[in-house]
Structures are given as C-alpha cells and as structure tokens.
Amino acid sequence: MKISGTYTLPFPRERTFALMQDPEALARAIPGCEGLQHVGPDEYKMKMKMALASLSGAFEGKVRISDSVPPESFRLIVEGSGRIGFMKGEGLLTLAAVEGGTDVSYDGEAQVGGTMAAVGQRLIDGTAKMMIKRFFEKLAAEAAS
Amino acid sequence: MATTITKTELLVGKRIRRREDPRLITGTATYVDDIQMPGMHHAIVLRSPHAAAKILSINTRAAEGTPGVVAVFTGKDTKHVGPVPCGASLPGLRVPHHYILATDRVYFVGHPVAVVVATDKYLARDAADKIEVDYDVLKAVADPEKALAVGAPAVHPEWPDNTAFNYHQEGGEVDKAFADAEVVIKQRITSQRLIPTAMETRGVVAEWHAADRQLNLHSSTQIPHLLRSLVAGMLGLEENRVRVITPEVGGGFGSKLNVYAEEALMGFVAMQIGKPVKWIESRRENFLCTIQGRGHVDYYELAAKKDGTILAIKLKIVQDLGAYHQLLTPAIPTLSVLMMPGLYRTKNIRADVVGVFTNCVPTDAYRGAGRPEATHGIERMVDILADELKMDPAEIRLKNFVTPEEFPYPTATGLTYDTGNYAAPLEKALGIVDYKNLLKEQAAARQQGKVMGIGISTYGEICAFGPSPATPAGGWESATVKIEPSGKVTVMTGACPHGQGEETTFAQIAADELGVDIDDVLVIRGDTAIVQYGIGTFGSRATAVGGAALYFALQDLKAKIKKFGGMLLESDDVSYSGGEVICNKTGASKPLSEIAGATYRAMKLPPNTEPGLVATYFWEPPNFTFPFGAHIVITDIDRDTGQVKIRRYVAVDDCGNLINPLIVDGQVHGGVAQGVGQALWEQAVYDDSGQLITGELMDYALPRAHMMPWIESHHTITPTNVNPLGVKGVGEAGTIGASPAVVNSVVDALSPLGVRHIDMPLSPEKIWKLMGGNN
Amino acid sequence: MIAQAFDYAAPKTLDEAMTLIAAGAKPLAGGMSLIPMMKLRLAAPEQLVDLARVKDLNYIRESGNQLHIGATATHYAVESSALVRAKCPLLAAAAASIGDVQVRNVGTIGGSVAHADPAADYPAALQALDAQIVIRGAKSERTVSAADFFVDAFTTALETGEIVREIVVPMEDSSTSYQKAPQPASGFALVGVAVRVRKNGDRIASARIGVTGLANKSFRASAAEKALEGTAGTAADVQKAAALVPQGVDANSDLHASADYRKHLASVYAARALTAALS
C-alpha cells in the first residue's frame, strides 16, 4: 500500500529535522510506542502496543533512519511483528521550510501481514492515515515542551 | 412377511424432492465436526505468516509445557511421512517434494509448520501461540507473470525460472490457417484466482487401533477410496488397514477432490498418541490453505474469414500453480486446452501452457476445472470477432456450430464429441428472450442514454470423467446392489456424493429398474469398509458414470431375479416388470419380495446359480460426455455508478436425459451463482509479498441469495450414446456458461464506447472508469 | 477461530455492569464486531460484561418530541419498530440496510455506535438527525452530539470506563432518505448518505446530510447543507449541493473502491438521497 501526504509542523526546518531524529521524541510520538532502545547507529529496537477498536496487540520491532540529508530529508523504516501479524513501513520524508513552520512530506510503502492483513483490508488505509496523523500531532505538541 | 409395493409409475424424469434434505435442514446430519469419541484429542496447525522464508529455528518448549498439551510435532518429526501426492503427470513436470509439515523453508502464507495436540481445542490453540518460529523472511512472488520475469524471486531455489512445466498441443494446420485468414484478433483474457468456499470447511478425525494396526480416518472428502489408497501409502500402512469414512460432506466444488497434508498428518498424530484426534479447518485456514481455483492469464489469437468462419485458435496459458502441486494441479490447464474448440467447427488449434510456481496456495480443480477458463476465453473471442466483423453474436455462433449430422465429431484436440444439437438451446434461448425485439429495445434504450447489454454464451463441456486411459486414477465407477431377503434394496455407490443428491437420483433409477417403491431403496456411500472401491464425485461424473454402473448392476440382478422367478413359476418364458416376475404364458406372477426370500432361503436353486441377490458392477465408460447449452444475460448498467444489474438470466442447458429435473435445476442455479460470482464479485487478491488480502468473507465477495438474479432454467434434451441412461452430467454447466454470458452482456452494453473486453470481476469502479469516470 | 480464554459476566443491572467495566472489563453488546475479532485473536479482552440481560438498556420509547433508543436495541428492533418507522423513518432505513438479517437480529445500535466503524450505516443517519448520544460512566452521565461523538476511525468521545447508554433522536416532520452503495462482501457502506430536509413553503428551511464510508469518520456535509438551504430544491440545486459533499474530504481507499470513486459515489448517493427525500 502506498502512503503519502504532507503535514505542517510548527518548527523551523532544522529543529524539525533534529526532532524527528530524536529517539525520545519519536518514542513519544509513535502511537503505542513503549520505548526505543538504541541498538546501532540510527537503529532502535521498539516495543509497541497497538489498540484500535477492539483490536489489540503487542509488537516488537525496529526503527531505522537512513539516507539522512540534514535538514532536507531522510528515510524512515519501521518494522514490527507480534502474534496478530506484522507490519513494515518505509518512506522518504522531505522537509521544506514554509511560513510558520516546516512542511514534512512523506512518500512510501506500508505492508501488513499475518491475520491483520487478511481481516483488516478495508481498515488498513484509514488506520495508517490515523496513525500518521497522531504521530504528527504528537510531534507538533513537542512545541510546548 | 415384509411387503414390497409393486408399481408401474416411473420416477426417472420426475421432480422428486431430495430424500437427504430432512436431515440436512433439521440439523441432524453428521459432519466430521459432529463426531465425538471417548478420549478424543484436538489438533491445531500452526502456519506460516510469511509467503517465503527460511525456518531458522522452532522452539516448542513452552507449548509442550502447557497443561493439557500431549504433543507438538514439527517437520523434523514428520519427514518420513510420504509427500502430499501429485496425481497428474506431464512430460518433464517438476514436482517439488511436498512435506506434510514444512522442514527448513515455507513457501506460502498458511504453510503448515507445526501441529499441537491437546485435550481440548482451546488449550491447543493457546499452546500454538507459544511456539516460537524464527523466520528469515525472503522475497516472495505472487503473480505468475511476474514470476516468469528474469530476476524474479525463485519459489523453489532449485528452479529459478519458476517454471513447473511447458505443455504444447496442436491439431490441424494452424500456421496455414493464420496465413489464409482475412481477420486475426488478439486478446489477453484473465480468469482470476477464486476461493472455492464450501459451506463445510475441511475436517479430519483419525483413530488408531494399534493392536489391530487399523487406522480409521473420517474426512470431509469427495474421494474416500483414493484418499485411503494414498494416505496408506503416505503413512506406510497396508491399504486394507486404513478405513476412510466420509460422513455428510457440506460441499466441495472440487476443493475436496484432493489429498491434503492434514489428512496424513492426523493419521500420523493418532498413531503417535494412540488416541483419536480431531482437526477442523477454520474459515481462515480454508481461505489460506485449501486449494483455490482458476488463476489463468490467457493470450488468445483467433483467425477467421470475413464471413465469420473461425479458422484457427492459438492460445498461450500462463497458469498460476501456487507453490506446490496438489493432487491434480498441473492437469487442470490441460483440460482448458482440450476444451478450446468449444462448440465450433474449428480444426486448427495450438496451445502452449506454462505452469508457473508462485508463493501462493496451490490451485487445483474448482467447479469446471479448466473448462470455465477455456469457455470464457473462447466465448469472449467469438464476441470480439463478431464485433470486429459487425456481425450478430448469435448469427456468428450458429454459423460455426458443429452440425447434428457431424456426430460423432472428432475435434482438433483429439476428443470425439458424442452427440449434439448446438443450435437447439441457442434458438430456444433466443426465442425465450424474444431476441429480435430485444435488439430493438436495446437500440431504443441507447437512444435514451441507457446502458443495456445482451450477452450470449454457448458453452460446451467435457463431463463424465472419463475413460480410464484419460484419467490419472481410473475413470470407471462402481455400484453394488443388494436385495435383502425381505426385498428391500440397498445401493452402494463408489461415487461418494457431497451434496449432489444421489441418495435420491440413484434411488429413482433403482426403483424404476426393479419396479419397487423409492422408499424401499436405500443408497449408501462413503465408507471404504462397506462400499466397494470407487472413484468419487467430480467432473460431473457421478450420474453419468456411477449411475450407469448402477444401471448395469441392476440388469445383472434382474437377470438373476428372472431366473429365480422362472424357477418358482416353473416357466422359462418370463418377464420382469412392476416388481414382479410374470409368466408370459399363464400370466402368473411372483413378487420380488418372495423371490428375494427364496434366493436367500435357497431350498432350490436354478442351474448354475448361487444363492443371494447381490450384484456389483464396475463400469468403464467408452468416452466422455459433452453437454452444451446457451445462456443469455440481459444487463442494465447504472450510468452513474457502474453497478451491473442482471435483469434477466436465461439458461438453456442440454445435459442429455434428466433423472430428476428438480435436482438438475438446483445444480444449474448453484453453478450459475458461482459463475456470476466470478464474473462480478469474487477474486482472491494477494499483495506483492504473497499475503492474501481477501482473507475473510468480509473482503472476498461470495454471491448471496439477494445478489442473484432470477434464473430461468430451461433444457433441450439430446441424450448421449455413451451410457445407457443417456445422461451427460450437469454439475458444472452453470458455472461454465455463466461467466462469459455475464461478461459478454456487460461488454455489449459498453460496446458503443469502443469497449471490447473487460477482465473479471466486473467491479462497478472498473465499469465507471470505462464509461469515463469523472470526466 | 478460537478465542483466548476470558471471564464472562452477565449482570442484570446497569450498576453492576458499570462496576465491572470500571474495573477494566470490556462491554459486550451484540458482539458482531467484537466476537469475530476475538475468534481471530486480534482482540483478547480478559473479561467480558455481557449487557444482554440488562433490561433497562433495551427499549425504544418516545418522550416529548424525541425517540429514546436503548443501547442494546437490536438493528432488527429498530428497523421493525412501528414507532421508529412512523416517527423517525431515517433511522429505521439505516438499520434495515445493515449487513444481513442474521447480523441485524443480534447486532445492537449501542454496539455499532460505540465501535464507530468508519463504514457503519448508523453514524450517517445519526449525523443527519443531530442525534444525542447519552454516555454512561461509572458515576455520572453526559450527553454528546453525534457530530462530537465520532472522532476518528474506531475512535469516539467515549472515555475508558464509559459506555453508550442511549441514543436520542428527534421526531419531527421532515423528509428523509438513506442511500448506500454496499461493499459486496461485507455489506458495509462504500459510501452511505443520510439526508433530512425540512421545507418551509417551497423553500428548503433546513438540510442535514450525514455521510459514512467516505472518510475515517462519519461527518456532516456542511457546505452542501448550506448550499441547499434557502433553495427550492430543484434538480439543479440538488446536483450542485451533492457535488459539494466530497469536496475537501480525505477519502479512504481500499481493495473495493479507490478514493476517487468513493468521492464520486458520495455525490451520486447524496443526489439520490436528496432527490428521494424531496420527492
């Protein structure tokens, strides 16, 4: 499944870029994330709990950042698997300075497997959108901190 | 003294209600899941969530430590069990070794990896969650054409081209015909993967009696005897030590014409734990692990003359086989090739099939098995030709039909069509819809901006599988008829039914031949310890082959009844009718009940005659049968949304003589539903990584009653001369006729826009886009 | 298709149920969404509180100029209720278009609303009706409008420990219609549009358009409503308003319908619903 979109964050580009590479900020923003653990350069182990409607499940996975071109762009790879299935998302994030903040455009692919994939087809698109929205909203909230 | 009612009224040809229905509709039938046994355990199969991966390790310790769990087995425990068999053979066929549990690699989502056995299914399911499998996930390929591309991931590393076989068949002078052609049309036509979705999923109960070396296997199958032979081989047991019992089977559509890993696996488990074990497939497993149907990408070329005469057909089939061969997987597309000439006088045929491995569950026989794909393609191509030549689709068909005087008709694919009058059902259907006025109505509707289509398909079938040399496991069928001392009749058929109503139709045949009441006839099937060896129910064969075997067994019995009756009447000149042997000279008679008693009492025997009244007949058919028909579909398309509404569905099927028109109509209805389902809604969709994303009935759109049009079912009757009943078979007819009729109708509706072909399913969005979408 | 073990309670009073829910139990109404998820082990609640025996959740009654529908009234009860059919036919129509008869016999209005499936039928009608959702917590009750209740996909204004107790809809003399393009497999709405219009003389005094299936949550198509109000509701007015329904909406896309097609369907079905209501 292709995912793409743009979200405006209320920070200057440099600050936005730094924030999006900060494991603590990412951990706070990734929905259901219960912590990131540094395991290598730009690579983190992640524990995540997903709860959506009556669906719930724990995932373990990895977050990886690559192709970093500060403060313009980087590639974000998120993988997780748990008993109810697995998911993988990979996308290029591009940052552009705009008035009052930074436009973060994302363009990538998401893949879901296991039981989730089979039963959640009509929900996956909406869910992905919702999670991305929550992610950016949480990041935006970092402005206050 | 028991009485046998004598009667003269014939039952064959009557709309008799199915005798099996009371138990089915009152919920008192016994399916595999209804079987309970003392000490019975329950098995859950753990399956791969990945389409392609190496298994690095499997840790079963936590699962084994779960209270109630008695055993966990993985591929290393079952390596010695024989592979899941492929019964089809083709020159150069590559057959991957198909272990019953994965060993070091998984090849499709749902691939069995381990089995957990516990005292109840809940504990087994909980324990399955505790098995840790470390996978090294590999790149998968789910699309057969992508699998053929250079650099595609290899499904089986030993065969990087993903090609299981190449099959070529040719008849006539194809190149010359194309050189001589005035018109050549080409079209790529797909027939998507479908999920058979029997109402009852698969299920197995296995019990092992170690002291007797006896394995009893209760399985929801279409082929109890073949299953017994093959599972015995897989488990290294003597064939006579395996008993397969097939209780009620809630549908199969070909998906239970197979031998599955779980059938041998449960046998293995029962032998290991020494207790009965039950495994019932969940609907989700049914979607992931039971064979699927179709999976064709076809490239057609058709050569014709300007007057509409079809000269030659070339076809390249890319068949998606899935990751393994199940029982008949590679053979299915060869049936498409046989069917290529359709009903037409086309003497030049060339087919090339490439069988392709993909990281998906195997394809295999699904209602029609190879013939719907071919018929869909041919019937589409004929419509495209008609469009090219601006000819009427009915006229072009009538022009090319094999004519009644040409039978027996040898085809370019090596078949001999038995009997036929192909124009008859088409003309009848055209009459029913009042074709001429319908065309006027359509022209007027188009003037008003309405989108209305008329679709015709004239299909042919190969049924009554079949002569033994043409089938992998024998094409005969068997019947035993026992007349008990009281005169009651027990019929045992080897053609074990799974919803086709043989308990009724076979009783009709027996009742008529013996002149007894239908309630005096009991039809038994589905237990290899009781019923003589049989082949099974598939390929529209049960009545045309199994019914014929029954007919011949009944003739043998009648001869014996006459001998005993003549002895009792002290006459050599007797006849048998109405359940009595009658002396032709005196008119004196003896009822069957009395004669039956005498055969068992055996106070006196006719010369060279044994006591008792039992006959068994194994009948080998001399040929297939070739039913045919014409379906006409009228559609109205919603201009705003692209929704297709079937206004009228007229089916005129010629399946030879009808034993029970009620059951025949039921078969046509069910078949049409599945054909319309393929045309409009059904599609198994895999993503690029091999995940089945239509993995539940929430996303896989099966037709439901309220989505179906009213089906006007009619018949013409052209009896076959292949069997004495004159029946050809009807189980698959509806499916074969329906999909091209619906698609032809929708394409016809859109033809003013220049549309010539649409691949199935005809989703409203596809049609909306063809009509211009937002523009 | 075998659920994980769970505790099960079926109290007879709402207070008992609320105590268990406050302690973390998951409420079970008809179970038409929850049970399949549990069977697939996508959901694994430790305790279920079955609300089926709580009598004072299962009712349909009128009071003043409003209809009160208890959370565990089944879709079939709503669809077949003479009261609902007479006084709020839009809600009966939405109920009648849910799933299949087996689902409607068991599924409940409260369960559906609380689940907030973005393609469920009720939310469109509740948006168009300006319905009030009565929410019951452990100690108190509050009322939220449908517009505020549906927050996102499967996300509502319900806080932990709260349940939907009652749906309140107006009874008034308006013309309504619910039109839906069903997804062929699930019966959920690819797009469903509920409209409620009231005329004053030959002018449309008020228009309410609720949309489901199009986006992550049901919503009211306010621009279309405004475009319609004050007009005579001619075919041209309807077309103009219907075209506004999907405008600016971040439409969902899946196997069954792309975002573009969904948006197109939203216009088509809005026009059909408006035409039906105005005729």
pLDDT in tens, C43-75: 889 999 999 999 999 999 999 999 999 999 999
If we measure between CA atoms, which residue out of B465, B403, B440, B508 comes closest to residue B728? B465
**What pLDDT sits at residue A23?**
87
- Among A2, A55, A111, A121, most B C-beta atoms within 10 A, so best to mutate, is A121
Given this model, what pLDDT does residue A144 score?
64
Residue pLDDT, tens place only, B495-537: 999 999 999 999 999 999 999 999 999 999 999 999 999 999 9
Q: Residue B200, SS3?
A: coil
Q: What does the pLDDT look like over B18-64, one tens digit per residue?
A: 999 999 999 999 999 999 999 999 999 999 999 999 999 999 999 99
Average pLDDT of chain B?
Answer: 96
Quote the tokens at residue B249: 């089977």
Cβ of A117 within 8 Å of Cβ of B693? The answer is: yes
The predicted pLDDT at position B466 comes to 84
- % pLDDT > 90, chain A: 28
- For residue B153, say if its preceding peptide bond is cis, omega within 30 degrees of 0: no
Q: What token pair was written down for C41?
A: 């082990």
Given pLDDT bands bounded at 50, 70 and 90, which one contains residue A87?
Answer: confident
CB B346 within 8 A of CB B382: no
Average pLDDT score, chain A: 86
**ipTM value:** 0.95
The confidence band for A121, taking pLDDT boundaries of 50, 70 and 90, is low
**Which neighbouring-strand residues pair with A36?**
A46
* Yes or no, beta carbons of B288 and A118 under 8 Å apart: yes
What whole-number distance in Å separates Cα of residue A138 and Cα of residue A42?
21
Q: How far apart are CA A92 and CA A74, in angstroms?
A: 6
- Tell me, yes or no, if C1 comes closer than 8 A to chain B by beta carbon: yes
Mean pLDDT estimate for chain C: 96
pLDDT tens per residue across span B67-92: 999 999 999 999 999 999 999 999 99
- Rounded CA-CA distance B658/B754 in Å is 42
Residue B6 in this model has a pLDDT that exceeds 60? no
Whether cis (ω within 30° of 0) applies to the bond prior to B408 is yes
Q: C83 phi and psi, to 5 degrees?
A: -65, -50
Binning pLDDT at 50, 70 and 90, where does residue B3 land? very low
A52 chain-C contacts, CB cut-off 8 A = 153-154
* B476 vs B467: CA distance, rounded Å: 7
**Alpha-carbon distance B478 to B528, whole Å?**
13
Q: With pLDDT > 70 as the criterion, what percentage of chain A qualifies?
A: 93
The encoded tokens of residue B446 equal 């188009």
Q: What is the pLDDT of residues B247-294, one digit of tens each?
A: 999 999 999 999 999 999 999 999 999 999 999 999 999 999 999 999
The β-bridge relationship of strands C189-200 and C203-212 is antiparallel
Chains that touch C (3 or more CB pairs under 8 A): A, B
Q: How confident is the model at residue A110 (pLDDT cuts 50, 70, 90)?
A: confident
**Chain C residues within 8 angstroms (CB to CB) of chain A:** 26, 33-34, 36-38, 40-45, 115-119, 152-155, 183, 186, 188, 215-216, 250, 252-256
**Residue in the block written with tokens 């324990």:** B127
The arithmetic mean of pLDDT across residues B130-148, rounded, is: 97
Q: What is the mean pLDDT of residues C137-160?
A: 94
At residue A129, the pLDDT reads: 81
| Separation between Cα atoms, residue B126 and residue B130, nearest integer Å | 7
Top residue of A54, A56, A112, A123 to mutate, by most chain C CBs within 10 Å, is A54
| Residue B26: CB atoms within 10 Å | 8
User: Tell me: the pLDDT tens digits for B533-589?
Assistant: 999 999 899 999 999 999 999 999 999 999 999 999 999 999 999 999 999 999 999
> What is the spatial distance between Cα B236 and Cα B233, in angstroms, rounded to a whole number?
5
**Which pLDDT value is given to residue B310?**
98
- Beta pairing partners, A80: A61, A87
Residue A56: the pLDDT is: 77
In the predicted structure, residue A89 carries a pLDDT above the cut 90: no
**Beta strands of A26-84 (E only): which ranges?**
33-40, 43-52, 55-69, 73-82
pLDDT band at B4 (very low <50, low <70, confident <90, very high): very low
Q: Is residue B477 classed as helix, strand or coil in its secondary structure?
A: strand
Mean pLDDT for C218-227 is 98
**Which residue shows structure tokens 């009724």?**
B504
DSSP state of B34: G
Which tokens belong to C263?
Answer: 């948006």
Residues 6+ apart with CB under 8 A from B487: B2, B4, B516, B520, B591, B592, B593, B594, B595, B596, B597
Average pLDDT over residues B686-697: 92
Inter-chain residue contact B689 with A113, CB threshold 8 Å: yes
Judge whether B288 is closer than 8 Å to chain A, CB to CB: yes
A131–chain B nearest CA distance, Å:
21
Strand order in the sheet with B644-654: B451-460, B628-637, B644-654, B711-715
Asked if B224 contacts B245 with a C-beta cutoff of 8 angstroms, the reply is yes
Q: Annotate B141-171 with three-state secondary structure.
A: CCCHHHHHCCCCCCCCCCCCCCEEEEEEEEE
pLDDT (tens digit, 9 = 90+) per residue, C59-117?
999 999 999 999 999 999 999 999 999 999 999 999 999 999 999 999 999 999 999 99
| Span B609-620, average pLDDT | 97
| B461 DSSP β-pair partners | none
Closest by CA position to B416, among listed B452, B467, B351, B475: B467
How far is Cα B218 from Cα B299, in angstroms, rounded to an integer? 43
DSSP-assigned states of every residue in B382-412: HHHHHHHHT--HHHHHHHHBPPGGG-SEE-T
Distance CA B141, CA B562 (A): 66
pLDDT, tens only, B171-206: 999 999 999 999 999 999 999 999 999 999 999 999
Residue type, A10: P
Lowest mean pLDDT among A68-82, B77-91, B749-763: A68-82
Q: Determine the pLDDT at residue B662.
A: 97
- Res. B2 pLDDT band, cuts 50 70 90: very low
